[in-house]
Every structure is written in C-alpha cells, then in structure tokens.
Structure 1
Amino acid sequence: MALRNWVRETGIDLVQINGQRRYGGPPPGWVGSPPPAGSEVFIGKLPQEMYENTLIPLFQSVGKLYEFRLMMTFSGLNRGFAYAKYSNWQGAREAIATLNNLEVQEGYTIVVCKSLEKCELSVDGLPTSVSQKYLEAVVLKATEGVLSITLHASPYQKKAKLAVLKYSSHRAAAMAKKTLTEGSVKLCGENMNVGWLKPELKEKLRLC
C-alpha cells in the first residue's frame, strides 16, 4: 500500500521484467549518453519488505540516479539485493562512502559496493584437493587479464570447492568464460560449472 501511494504521489514509473523492477534507465528528462563505467553500485542484505518508496529516496539523497533495479521474487518480495546507477562515478563513490554498512532497519545493515558489471566468473565443482597455487597456474596460462583468483568451499556442492576469477574487463572475462566452458582447460572437476558471478553468491561469499 505504501509503495502504491508513493508511486501515485511521485509519478515515478516502475517497470517489472525478467525478475527485476526498474526505475529509469534513462530517467525522465535525461539528455545525452548513458553514464560511464563505474557509475553503478551493488546493494546487498536488504530487508525483503523494503521497496522503492524507501530505497530510491535514500539512494537519491547522495547523487542523481540514472537507474535503480530491485531484484524480485515471483511472490512479490525483493530478493535482498538491488543496483543503483548514478549519472556519474562520483555519485557511486558517494553512495559507497555514505551508505555502506548503514542500518536501514533494526538488525539490518546493508552492503553498498562497486558493481563490477560482469568482470567476475565463478567456477564451481572443483575437487577439494585443488590448491590455490595449481589453480593460479592453470588459469593464468589459459586466460588473459586476470586480476585475482580466490578459492572457497562451495556453498552449493558437498565436498567441492568454488573459485572466483576477477578480470580486467568484461571482454577478458567473456573470453575466459568461453575458454573454460569449452572444456579445453582441465581443472580436475568432472562436474565443473563456469558462469558469471551472481550477486547473491557474491554476497554469500562476502566479496564486496
């Protein structure tokens, strides 16, 4: 009810598609090109009953929003994370400095960090015997533009490890994904699954 009233009073247009509800992209009155890279932040650990009527004013308080995307469940609750894209990278930087670790409700402290815009891959299903040194040797030899490699216990498979690979650009990450998916690189995992690092997994691994 509060959300509907807020939408009616402000005239803000929210569009829901593919599991997310979006404001802007571009917002009303926007003139010119989309914001540059580095203008978007990832927002995690949101209370499920918190919606745009609270979130958009909060994130607009530190800079001009170009777009706000709230991830939604089929039942109409938010999925606990969202993305805010500002008109410039200064707005994103101010959001991180001001709103990261902010307690938005009692017991709920949100995470606000830079959105890496698909420069990170997850590799799940690695055997528990695989070492950081071995993984680095294989990945650095097979792919280019690697910035970091981290190894974790898999939250999805028992007796398996999961690697997070961070690349210098989306192109480098996409090429690495193609190389690793085609199976020409052996990482000793029979059930290895290579994909883009999902926000919910990023939050679960505390990588912000």
Structure 2
Amino acid sequence: MTCQVVLRIELEQLTYTSPEIELKYRVFQIYGQKHVTLQNPNLHPEPMSEIFVAKIPRNIAIENLFKFFAQCGEIYQMRLLMDFSGSNRGKCFVQYMHTKASREAICCLHDEVIESGHRIVVKMSLNNNQLFLRSIPETIPEEDIRQHIVSTIGEGLTNVLMKKSRAPDRYYCFCTYRDHQFAIMAHKKSWPFLRIGNNLIDVHWAIPELLRYHTCLYFTNFNTDITKKEFFEAIVKLIDVKTLIQFRIYDKCGFITFNNADSMKKAEELLKNLTIGKKKIKFSRRPFKANRSGHSKNTIHNTAPPTYQFFSGEPPVSSFPVNVSFCMPPMSTVPPTYNAPYIHYWKSCWIPDMFKAKYFYST
C-alpha cells in the first residue's frame, strides 16, 4: 500500500464582481496546477461547460487571465498548468457556470490577442478517458498483453478492447478508465511508449467519443463588419447550444461542428432562413472556398489564419533559416561523381518565416 503526499499551497483570495453578484474565489496550487475555484458550495456548473486554452503568455498575471475569460460569463473554476520554475506552461482549463458561456468563449475568444501580441487557442475540453495502443505485434499473446496493461497502467481501468489491425501481424487496443484523471496518470506512466518484453508499444490518447461521429455545417455570405459575439448570439437563438462542439469563423466563411448528425440536420433546417444585417446566410454540408483578403480589427474576419506564399527554386535570403550553418547547392548543380552525403531541398519548395525548411539526407 502506497501513500501519496499531496502538495497543497494556499495562495490568496480573488474577488470578481459579476453583473449580478460579487463572487469570491480561492486560489491554491495542487498537483502542479494553480486552481481558482468558486467558494460558494451552492453553485454548481452545467455539464460540458469547460474549455481548453493554449498559447497563453507564460508570465501573465492570473488576475488578468481570469478577467479575460470572465467577459463571456461566470467562471466556476480555472486551472492553470504550472512548471517547476513557477511560471505557467502556456495552457489552462476554464470551467464556466453555464454551457452557453463556454461556447461563446470558443467562438469569440479563439485567436484573439490576450497580452503582448499572443493569440490564444480555445477549444472545447472533453472528458477523455480512453488510451489507444497501436502497433502491437501479433506474436505477443493477447492474455499477456492484458496482464501487462493491468499490472503497469491498470489503476482505474474498466475495460480493455483488443482488435485486429489492417497492418499485417498487428493488433491495436483501447484502454478505458473510470474517469479522465485515471487516464491522465496511466498516460504519464506509459509515455512515450509501453514496453512489453522487447517490444515498444506506442501509447496515444484515443479520439473522444463526441468527436468520432461529429459533423460540420459550413456557412458563408455574411457581413464581415459585425462582431463575432453578434454572430454567435444570432446563431444560438435558433439552435441548441449544448449540441455545439466547435465554432470557427474566417474571412467570409466558417463552420459549426455538432456532436452528431441528427443535431446537424436539425440545425440546418432551423438556420436555412437566418438573416443577419439584411444578408441571408448560406449554409451547406460542404466547405466553401475562403476569401482571405484584408483584415479589420475587432470584426469577424480577424480570425482568419495567415497565408504563406510558397516559393519554388532558390529561397529568398530573408526567409533562409538563420540557425542552419551550411547548405549544399541544389541537386541539379551537384556533379554526378559526388558520392558524399549532401543536403538537398525537398521538392525545392520553401515556406518562409514561420516554418523551417525540410531537409533530407541522401547519398
């Protein structure tokens, strides 16, 4: 029997005044996570009301981060992932009191600048309790695999499902746990692989159940001068907000991801006559071609991802990676008698600025 010591550090109190009531939160740190939790025991959050946020500044004050997400609704709890140095890891979970507030944050706060030019990523947080083990050799008996999984990562395990893979002489396996916390601990123990004898088995997170059969509804032909919040409010007046998984808007098109096909069909019927700003919105089950021309601050089309021009042949001097200290000439200029390893450009295509060139060694 093992005894785990939980490090719990009480930090401070945080008070936030919402439009209806003054809310008091308790700030403490446990298991490498800084929690900001509502103190009122009589208030409980609605299901599926948590979001996952990435790419936040590592030195941001927790009060500023809390106020940024509180603009969408009352927050029940915020969990900020911390590292050993005391700074955050650029990721956090925010759980709202109401489901609508979480969907509004997914739509309106994604790709927005939070501080010092940082654009954040906002997604729906799903309670994933399954791990996926792939490339299991057929030479290992199935019973040995089950016993090894139970003995190594079996805490909280409820089911092990083995199936034949399309690859020859290979199996794959789904491990289902009691809840997300047990799955997290099993993933940490087995990362980056699980050793069974002399075989190394890849361990990954399984696709959450809600995303396995998700369907998208695409839309276009709307006024780009309206804000994302106005567009979101017009949409959720007609459809059930709890069926939304993801909501993304680009220049002149976007898409809504639903949890199943029935919800998508029902929403398509309800939204077919939707008019916003004297413009009738067009909906389709197939994606529209995006028109990413121009940007305007605080309007709906500032969420479009940047476009990068592809160059063929020699790259421009300004886009050459500064950390590459050597570069051989292209393949066409290399003498045929040159047999030493050299580096050539992959299909002579370059992606400037953000992405580094892809190199391959050949002889």
Give the shorter-chain TM-score range: 0.5 to 0.7
**Alignment TM-score, normalising by the size of structure 2:** 0.34
1:75 aligns with 2:88: no
Give the superposed CA RMSD.
4.2
Q: Give the letter for the 1:31 counterpart.
A: N
Q: Is the 8 A contact 1:40 1:115 kept in 2?
A: yes
Summarize the Cα distance change of 1:120–1:93 in structure 2 as closer, same or farther, 3 Å threshold: farther
Larger relative contact order (C-alpha < 8 A, sep ≥ 6)? 1
Q: Give the letter for the 1:38 counterpart.
A: M
Post-superposition shift, 1:31?
1.3
Paired position in structure 1 for 2:39: 28
Summarize the Cα distance change of 1:121–1:108 in structure 2 as closer, same or farther, 3 Å threshold: farther
Q: Is the 8 A contact 1:7 1:53 kept in 2?
A: no
Structure number having the greater helix percentage: 1
> For residues 1-208 of structure 1, what are the structure 2 equivalents within 5 Å?
12-24=25-37, 27-32=38-43, 34-119=44-129, 121=131, 123=133, 133-134=166-167, 138-139=171-172, 143=174, 190-194=199-203, 196=205
Q: Give the letter for the 2:83 counterpart.
A: T
Post-superposition shift, 1:196?
4.8
Runs of 4+ in structure 1 off by over 4 angstroms are 6-12, 122-127, 142-145
Q: Give the letter for the 1:68 counterpart.
A: M
Gaps of 5+ in 2: 1-11, 17-23, 138-164, 191-197, 207-245, 247-363
Q: Is the 8 A contact 2:133 2:203 kept in 1?
A: yes
Post-superposition shift, 1:35?
2.3
- Matched residues, percent identical? 27
Aligned pairs, how many? 151
Counterpart-to-counterpart distance in 2, 1:92 and 1:9 = 21
Please tell me whether Structure 1 or Structure 2 has the larger radius of gyration of its CA atoms: 2
Counterpart-to-counterpart distance in 1, 2:30 and 2:121 = 24
Post-superposition shift, 1:120?
5.0
Post-superposition shift, 1:122?
5.4
Summarize the Cα distance change of 1:7–1:143 in structure 2 as closer, same or farther, 3 Å threshold: closer
Q: Secondary structure at the match of 2:64?
A: helix
Q: Is the 8 A contact 2:54 2:122 kept in 1?
A: yes
